[in-house]
Structure formats: C-alpha cells, structure tokens
Amino acid sequence: MESTIAGVVFSFFGLVGVAGGLWNWQVLMEPSHNYSFIRALGPKGMRVFYVVLGFFLFGVGTAFLLSVIRLGGR
C-alpha cells in the first residue's frame, strides 16, 4: 500500500514539474523562491531543469507503481 501511495505522489509531482517547465508556470519560476538557481542557469535553463526533474520523478513514481521499487522491504 505504501508503494502505491509513494508512486502516485512521485508521479503527480513529476507531472507538475514537467507541466510547469513546459508552460513556464510562475509559481515555479518566481525568483524569490529559487533566485540562486535562476541566476546560475537562466530562465530557459530552469525550465529544462524542471522538465528533466519532472521526468525523473515520474519515472520513480512509475517504478513504485509497477513494484520495481518497494517500500517496507518485502
């Protein structure tokens, strides 16, 4: 059960990251939250970072849902 919940949560946040990076959501790109990252990577770099991070989180969530990764040690 815990793996299913973890899979749904990781997949959700992964999709939010991908969508936020693709559509330039201001809640993710607001400079007051991540000013040092935006200064280092630039706005386009931050968008790419969010998309890549989102795909990674979605992949981890899918692995949880397919029982490739399990919580609880069983």
Task: Express each pLDDT in 43-73 by its tens digit.
Answer: 899 899 999 999 999 999 999 999 898 887 6
pTM: predicted TM-score of the whole model, two decimal places: 0.84
The structural domain count of the chain equals 1
Note the pLDDT of residue 74.
59
In-domain check, residue 21: yes
In-domain check, residue 40: yes
Q: Is 80 exceeded by the pLDDT of residue 13?
A: yes
In-domain check, residue 49: yes
In-domain check, residue 72: no
Give which of 11, 17, 21 is closest to 60, Cα–Cα. Answer: 11
Q: Containing domain of residue 11, as a range?
A: 2-65
In-domain check, residue 70: no
Residue with tokens 């991070």: 53
Token code pair at residue 38: 């935006």
In-domain check, residue 46: yes
